[in-house]
Amino acid sequence: MNSRKNTGIALFAFLVLQVVGAAPLRAEDSLVDEPADEYARQEEIYRRQQVPRGYVIDRSLEAYTSFLPDEFDRALANLGPEDRWLDIGAGQGRAILDYYTPGYDKAHRADRKRRGKKAKSVALSIEDRRTPQWHKAVTTLEAGKVQYLHGKRLREYTREELGRFQLITDVMGGFSYTTDLSRFMQSVMHFLELNGSYLTVLQDVELEQGTNKPFYDGYPFATEIENPGGQKATICSWLKSIACTEVRCESKEDWSPPLEIYHVRKVCDEVNVPALLPVNFAAGTPPQRGFQLGGAPKRPAAKPARP
């Protein structure tokens, strides 16, 4: 678990399936028979008791280690008892529970000896996906060590409710699903401690080097940003334009769909996130989203989702 190099072929195949599920859910697969607003369709996806295909809610901590930058495993292991970890889009909270297991301690003995007890953590989810395993595991931990919050989006919480965090993770959570990307990032930075790290990932986007094409023929990238003049901007370049951050972008072009991974470190408190206006949206797992940098607001247009 310390290194992705030790991950076997079978596990790699399993994790790739966790990225895409069986196949991403299309807008026309919604249970709503009549044409409906795409935002309403997306809400309906969240609320289904039967998890729709492509909407993964049980990713393990080992899966997080494979998705996120190498810094994730080190950053988590370095957290001490006074530090805090927020996981956005935590689903069943399996990754957080894995952090408190003897198996994690065995794999990170040197780190635990240095830091002592483990950090506190908060699992954040739109819907309540806790399982009997979650409730049982939490009873074995000291009071206040773990929280599970649901029913609200990140932007709806105050700092008094959530506090601040040294580490924030997001594996196909809010960053992949939000309809307001700039406001979401402003919220993340609001809850991040100075010198804290936000680690996240997107699938099927134009990579920093601009060498790839959309994964699905005839469809745009899953998340796109355009300038008012019509030129495209990459997600990586937009993140790097956020004041008071240091950003590093990595690509995994051999994944299907390809991934781009982001490490955002907060280096000062005067954070300023360039505004993005939504210009199109199609519900799915994840949704297809288009944004425009600045300019006059447009009414978001519904477009066909990827197959």
- Is the residue at 109 inside a domain? yes
| CATH number of the structural domain spanning residue 10 | 3.40.50.150
User: What band does 15 get if pLDDT is binned at 50, 70 and 90?
Assistant: very low
Q: H or E stretch including 85?
A: strand 84-88
The residue written with tokens 């190099």 in the block is 5
Q: What is the mean pLDDT of residues 228-251?
A: 93
In a domain, 113, yes or no: yes
Q: Give the CA distances from residue 64 to residues 152, 155, 200, 271, in Å, rounded to whole numbers and listed in that order.
A: 23, 23, 10, 27
Which one is predicted more confidently, 111 or 305?
111
List C-alpha distances in Å: 103 to 1, 40, 68, 271, 287: 10, 41, 20, 38, 35
User: 295 in a domain, yes or no?
Assistant: no
Instruction: List the domain range (segments joined by +) for residue 67.
Output: 4-22+53-217+228-274
SS3 assignment, position 24: coil
Residue type, 121: S
Q: Both tokens of residue 63?
A: 């899966």
DSSP state, 4? G
14 has a pLDDT exceeding 50: no
Asked if residue 305 is part of any domain, the answer here is no
For the segment 241-261, the average pLDDT, to the nearest whole number, is: 96
DSSP state of 73: H
Instruction: Give tens-digit pLDDT for 150-185.
Output: 999 999 999 999 999 999 999 999 999 999 999 999
Query: Which pLDDT score, from 0 to 100, does residue 240 have?
Result: 97
How confident is the model at residue 109, as a pLDDT? 78
Residue 71: count of CB within 10 angstroms of its CB: 16
Query: What integer is the mean pLDDT of 52-77?
Result: 94
> Domain count of the chain?
1
In a domain, 288, yes or no: no
What's the rounded Cα separation, in Å, for the pair 55 and 29?
A: 13
pLDDT, tens digit, 9 for 90 and up, residues 254-304: 999 999 999 999 999 999 999 999 999 999 999 999 999 985 444 444 455
The pLDDT score that the predictor gives to residue 29 is 37
Task: Taking residues 186-199, report their average pLDDT.
Answer: 98
For tokens 């990307």, name the residue.
181
β strands within 213-275, DSSP E: 223-226, 232-233, 245-252, 259-266
Q: From 269, 155, 161, 275, select the one nearest 225 (Cα to Cα).
A: 275
3-state DSSP of 26-61:
CHHHCCCCCCCCHHHHHHHHHHCCCCCCCCCCCCCH
In percent, the amount of the chain with pLDDT more than 70 equals 82
**Structure pTM?**
0.85
* 128 within a domain of the structure (yes/no): yes
Note the pLDDT of residue 20: 38
Rounded average pLDDT over 29-42 = 60
Give the residue with greater pLDDT, 72 vs 298: 72
The H or E element that residue 278 is part of is strand 276-282
Is the confidence at residue 58, as pLDDT, over 50?
yes
Edge-to-edge, what's the strand order for the sheet holding 165-170?
146-150, 120-125, 84-88, 165-170, 192-203, 259-266, 245-252
Q: Is residue 95 part of a domain?
A: yes
Helix (H, G, I), strand (E, B) or coil at 93: coil
The answer to whether residue 111 scores a pLDDT higher than 70 is no
CB neighbour list of residue 81: distance below 8 Å, 6 or more residues apart: 115, 116, 117, 118, 119, 120
Whether the pLDDT of residue 71 is over 50: the answer is yes
Q: Please report whether residue 40 resides in a domain.
A: no
With cut-offs at 50, 70 and 90, classify the pLDDT of residue 116: low
Q: Residue 170: which residues within 8 A CB-CB, separation 6 or more? A: 87, 88, 89, 176, 188, 198, 199, 200, 201
